[in-house]
Amino acid sequence: MGYQSIVFGRIVIENNLDRARAVINSLGDGPGILRTEMFGLGVSRHTYYEDPVISFGATYKSIEDNWDLFILDFEELLRQFDFDTAKIQLETEILGTYNFFWKSKKSGKDNFDEKDKMIETDEWFFGFGNRSRWGTLASDLTDLDIFSYYDFEYPVKAR
């Protein structure tokens, strides 16, 4: 049977919204973890704040069992366009709710404090927990905020 999980979030686009839309449209609507139909493609013209937001959401059957694959696919998507920040919330039926955050290094390196508990990679900063739009912790990070089920570790290694 399996349990239902809900995944939703947003990606703030730094440059070239048209490129980001093309990448998302290229996903198609086949059997993959990430599909075009789960994404909102952002406003079509610039608004007062000129950082377009692409939203997404879907339900899955026990996606937490393969969360490492979801993250690998999501990060491959992020690599294909210029983004500023991205957030995902994973709501599971049994294990709880988890938050994941990425801040791109393409738009300049940020100086996170040690208290922000960010994990630095070559491409971006990553963090668990409830975070502000810019990546600083909005509330204290606890062990319960860190998704560690099924031996999940960040950065994710390909299987």
Task: Give the total number of structural domains in the chain.
Answer: 1
The pLDDT, as a whole number, for residue 112 is 87
The pLDDT, as a whole number, for residue 50 is 74
Q: What's the CA gap between 86 and 8, in Å, rounded?
A: 11
The pLDDT, as a whole number, for residue 44 is 72
The pLDDT, as a whole number, for residue 108 is 67
The pLDDT, as a whole number, for residue 47 is 67
Tell whether 158 is covered by a domain. no
The pLDDT, as a whole number, for residue 57 is 98
Q: What's the CA gap between 48 and 20, in Å, rounded?
A: 20
pLDDT in tens, the chain (159 residues): 568 999 999 999 988 889 999 999 999 999 889 999 999 988 776 666 678 899 999 999 999 999 999 999 999 999 999 999 999 999 999 999 999 999 999 876 677 889 999 999 999 999 999 999 999 999 999 999 999 998 899 999 987
Tell whether 156 is covered by a domain. no
pLDDT tens profile 13-27: 988 889 999 999 999
Tell whether 24 is covered by a domain. yes
Enclosing domain of residue 82: 4-151
Tell whether 157 is covered by a domain. no
Tell whether 159 is covered by a domain. no
